[in-house]
Structure 1
Amino acid sequence: MSDLIYPTLDLFLYVLKTSLNTTDVETQKNQAAFLEQLPSDTQFHDHDIETEYLEITHPPQINFIPHNKTLEGYYYAVRLNDTYGLQVDCSINNQTEIQPTKSFTILKTEIEQKLNKELAIIGKTWLLSGWLLENSSQNPEDIAKNCYYALFKDTSWQPEKGTFLDGKVFEIGRSQYINQSLKNDTSSLNSNEHHVIITIYNNRESAEKAAEFYKDWMGLFCYRSKISWAYWQSRLVKESLLNHYKQIEENRKVTNLSNSRQEKQNITTYRKNLNNIDSILQQYTIDLLNLSFQKQIIEINLSNYQLRLALIKEKAGQNNQLDFLEKFSALAKKKYLPQINKDIENMQIGLKLLEDTINVTRSRIEVEKSERERSFQELVAVAGAGIATVTLLQSPAKDFCSKESMKDIFPKIPYFCNYPFSYSLMVGIIVGFMVWWLRKRLR
């Protein structure tokens, strides 16, 4: 048998009220989406103040009417600084008779029916609890395992273990975001990825005392969710940075390939490449700042997580073993933060290379521009010499041919006097060519 008295399932979920660069309209939209999880007649009071913990409904605990009449439950909503937290509690409405562990399937169905499954959350935790019959010989881990499989059938049982208020506690944590893609940046309530805490108490007194820790769990799970969320965000930002870098590399390779083939690139092409690189570089810089911002989120919430866990340990007493909850903070310190630090270091090197690429492209534009200006000056000089020659020769040629004495001197070139402009133009072209040749030799 795997039975419990008063099986209770709590879902803690978290939604960002504000985030980086969030506008007032977006903040109001986030608030409205969160309110959709609560009954329509809920009295909502979210004062615009910075606070670590604020109950935002009146009354703070709102009972709901379950679809299954054998159940009971309530909502409890708070704001923790920039994040909304919601606890949805559901239990079998019977505190005297034992219930099968498969009851948790019914409880989960009831909770999910109360929620908008399209809500974009940053994290969630399932908390399962109940107590044993007096002098029960059942193995608490076997019961906890059956409770877990009542909720998640296609996952393996690999828990962390401890004790809490003379009961056995088990934690199963899986990243909610590891399989998410850049195009899917929301977390569905139906996600198979999850964080689960199961506590099997020895008696009713311990379970009732555990209810005093709900506010502490609300804070601890929030900090945990924000750390995981920020780390996942940093992975998306890193992916975006790499994509930006690849795009700039493609632009640079096209330019270098043309230069290696000694192909003439016009200024318009260079400027187009430069504008493309410049635009991508702006996004790259923004993403790099965002990466540092995610690091700060992890650092702040890691500190809060450790402080909250210390308070829970102190409140629970010395006979409790909750050290397994410290493994998550160790993960954040030993993996998340070093990884982001390394990414920031590498991406800053990438930023320097991108800036060098822009400088090289700008230099090429200046070189091409100088060559064009020199070619234009060359054209002006040659054309000027030719035009000046034509202008100087045309009038004297007419005067020269008008003299009777000259007609006898040039009897073999009759067209010289008949077409003085053509001959002047021919001489001008010859002079222009000689000017071009001399400028080229003297360069």
Structure 2
Amino acid sequence: MDHVPSLVYPALNLLLYDRRDSSSDSQDHGHAHADREALGNKQPKRLRPPQNGYIYQRIFPDAYALQINGMDTEDAEWTYQAKSIDCFAGIKAQLITESAIAPGAWGRSWLLVGRLAAADQNPEYIAKDCYHALALTSEPNWSADLIGQGRLMGASFFELWRPPGGDQCATTDGCMVTDNPDHFHLYICIFDLGASLKRLDKLYHHLLTLGLYRHRATWAHSRSLDLKTTLTQYGQEVQKICHQVNQQVHQENLSLKQLTHLLRHGLILLSQYGAALHELKSHIHTLEGDLQSYQDRCRLVAKLNHSHNPSHHQPENSQYLERFKNFAIRRYLRPMERDYHQLSPGLRRLEDALRVMTGLLQIEQSRQQQALEQMVVAATVGLGTTTVVGTVLAPPLLLPRSGGLPGVIALPLLILVSASAGLIVARLLWHQLPPGKS
């Protein structure tokens, strides 16, 4: 079938998603936040001439969803003249320049729309031509990147996705792995010949919102992979600590210095491990919530499809949109839950090791305290004995009238005898005290 690579009213949109967070004290962050807030919520703003298009932002409690719309600059009045799809390359470059206002940290999607220019055009062939004209990847593969197609608000709808990390969601329930040189996400909506574009704004609205749930879910999974690596490293540190604690338990003489150092390291690791594990759990909850919101939005779109085509006895299903949800549950949510259950026991092992270390420190401190008390008691008794012996022996040794020895001999002898008596008594008492000794 002959088909012309041209469309009426060709337009390209770049959808950008970022976290909305005003809590940072960074000056640069504060300026960026103020700039995003200045764009307003649901307030379209025209692009600066000679560009033809507009910027439209939706502000959510925790996110920004920004749409940058671009059209052929030669088609400012939206004439009925068909335009070559080659115009999308120039619009794409324009949108990339305009996107400097938003980094798209959570992700970005492309949304291409147009209306058939001739009765003999095949929407799928045109969509393929547009896919290649955009050149979002250096290695295009339509069949591998296409994850869903159907009818959406009067248009032939195609969704293509090459996710980061090599995971590829195919049109069936299975998934394949690609080399993934470039990742992207693209919606293509080709309206029928002569179709009204009055519902285009609603189409933009719903796809902009769907993209938020999709990209936040993908970002949560990407972040979970970093956390998994970190938690695995923490788990290895926990094993080392547990091994060192086990060695300390079987030593006769514990080292307070080593135990204190090990306990300090363990407490720091406990804080880091707990924070990372808590963040992983929060991403699981975020992913669950976003996938539920994604499904709810898909079903709302399906109902709108039915209202647009009331002649249909059954509302059009949203399975072609929900494939991402099914893919994300299988490849994102379930692995994240498994990672959490596999990595969380390490925290409990660390807590147990810290309790053992605390107990060992208390035992060692108690032992040393008891030994010190015994030493004080023995020294006190020994000193008392020395004093008593000295008091008893001093008169006969030192007083001349008692026939004592000369002073030069008597005084050193008195000191020697008294000290020896004190030491003997202290030593005997030390061995008689209860065994809390070293």
State the shift of 1:126 in Å.
Answer: 0.6
Match of 2:386 among 384, 390, 393: 390
Q: Distance in 2 between matches of 1:221 and 1:281?
A: 37
Letter in 2 for 1:8: A
Question: For the residues of structure 1 that align with 2:423 and 2:321, how far apart are their CA atoms?
Answer: 91
Contact 2:119–2:193, Cα closer than 8 Å, also in 1: no
- Residue of structure 1 equivalent to 2:6: 3
User: Shift of residue 216 of structure 1?
Assistant: 1.4
TM-score by length of 2: 0.79
Aligned residues: 404
Deviation, 1:176, is 4.8
2:128 aligns to what?
145
Deviation at 1:136, TM superposition (A): 2.8
Tell which deviates more after alignment, 357-366 or 202-211.
Answer: 202-211
Please say if residues 114 and 190 of structure 2, whose CA atoms lie closer than 8 Å, have aligned partners that are also in contact.
yes
1:286 aligns with 2:275: yes
Q: Aligned-pair distance for 1:34?
A: 5.5
**Cα displacement string for residues 148-191 of structure 1 (whole angstroms, at most 9, x for unaligned residues):** 23332324422124222554332222335789xxxxxxxxxxx9
Closer, same or farther: CA 174–316 of 1 in aligned 2, 3 Å? same
What's the CA shift for 1:209?
Answer: 3.8
Confirm whether residue 336 of structure 1 aligns to residue 336 of structure 2. Answer: no
The percent identity for this pair of structures is 22
1:292 to partner: Cα distance: 2.9
- Tell me how far 1:29 sits from its aligned partner: 6.9
1:251 lines up with 2:252 in the alignment: no
Structure 2 SS opposite 1:116: helix
Partner residue, 1:437: 431
8 Å CA contact retained: 2:395, 2:402: no
Deviations 1:58-79 (A, max 9, x none): xx2211135xx5x521111121
Question: 1:8, CA displacement in angstroms?
Answer: 1.4
**Any conservation in 1 of the 2:245–2:353 contact (CA below 8 Å)?**
no
Contact (CA 8 Å) 1:17, 1:31: kept in 2 or not? no
How far 1:296 sits from its partner (Å)?
Answer: 2.5
Call closer, same or farther: CA 1:394–1:310 in 2, change over 3 Å.
same
* C-alpha separation in 1, matches of 2:101 and 2:166: 20
Among 295, 299, 315, the residue aligned to 2:284: 295
Candidates 130, 147, 151, aligned match of 1:160:
147
Q: Distance in 2 between matches of 1:442 and 1:228?
A: 61
Aligned to 1:174: 162
Partner of 1:273: helix, strand, or coil?
Answer: helix
What SS does the corresponding residue of 2:105 show, helix, strand or coil?
A: coil
Q: 1:135 aligned to 2:123?
A: no
Is the Cα contact below 8 Å between 1:2 and 1:146 reproduced in 2? yes
- 1:85 corresponds, among 62, 65, 72, to 65
Q: Deviations over 1:267-290 (max 9, x none)?
A: x44233223322332333333333
Q: What secondary structure is seen at the aligned counterpart in 2 of 1:134?
A: coil
SS in 1 for 2:100: coil
Output the TM-score relative to the length of structure 1. Answer: 0.78
Q: Which residues of 2 match residues 7-406 of structure 1 at below 5 A? A: 7-18=10-21, 23=23, 32-33=31-32, 36=35, 44-45=39-40, 55=42, 60-66=43-49, 69=50, 72-92=52-72, 93-94=74-75, 95-116=79-100, 119=103, 121-137=105-121, 139-149=122-132, 150-157=134-141, 158=144, 159-164=146-151, 165=153, 167-176=155-164, 192-205=182-195, 207=197, 209-260=199-250, 262=252, 264-266=254-256, 268-317=257-306, 322-402=318-398
Structure 1 residues 423, 225: closer, same or farther in 2, change over 3 A?
Answer: same
The aligned counterpart of 1:428 is: 422
Residue 176 of structure 2 is matched in structure 1 by none
Instruction: Provide the rounded CA distance (Å) in 2 between the counterparts of 1:153 and 1:402.
Output: 110
Q: CA deviation at 1:222?
A: 1.5
- Which segment is superposed worse, 114-123 or 195-204? 114-123
Q: Report SS of the residue matched to 1:115.
A: helix
Stretches of structure 2 that go unaligned for 5 or more consecutive residues are: 168-180
Counterparts of 1:309 and 1:393 in 2: how far apart (Å)? 100
Change (3 A) 1:153 1:442: closer
Residue 332 of structure 2: SS of its match in structure 1? helix
Instruction: Give 5+ residue unaligned stretches, structure 1.
Output: 46-53, 180-190
SS at match of 2:159: strand
Aligned to 1:49: none
1:183 aligns with none
* Structure 1 residue 260: Cα displacement: 4.7
Contact 1:167 1:206 in 2 (8 A): no
User: Closer, same or farther in 2 for the Cα pair 1:37/1:403, shift >3 Å?
Assistant: closer
Code of the residue aligned with 2:163 in structure 1: it is S
Query: C-alpha displacement at 1:2, in angstroms?
Result: 3.2
Work out whether residues 36 and 116 of structure 1, in 8 Å CA contact, stay in contact via their aligned partners in 2: no
Q: Which has the larger displacement, 191-200 or 81-90?
A: 191-200
Seen in structure 2, the aligned counterparts of structure 1 residues 316 and 32 have a Cα distance that, compared at 3 Å, is farther
Asked whether the 8 Å contact 1:16–1:121 carries over to 2, the reply is: yes
Q: Is the 8 A contact 2:148 2:323 kept in 1?
A: no
SS at match of 1:222: helix
Change (3 A) 1:271 1:261: closer
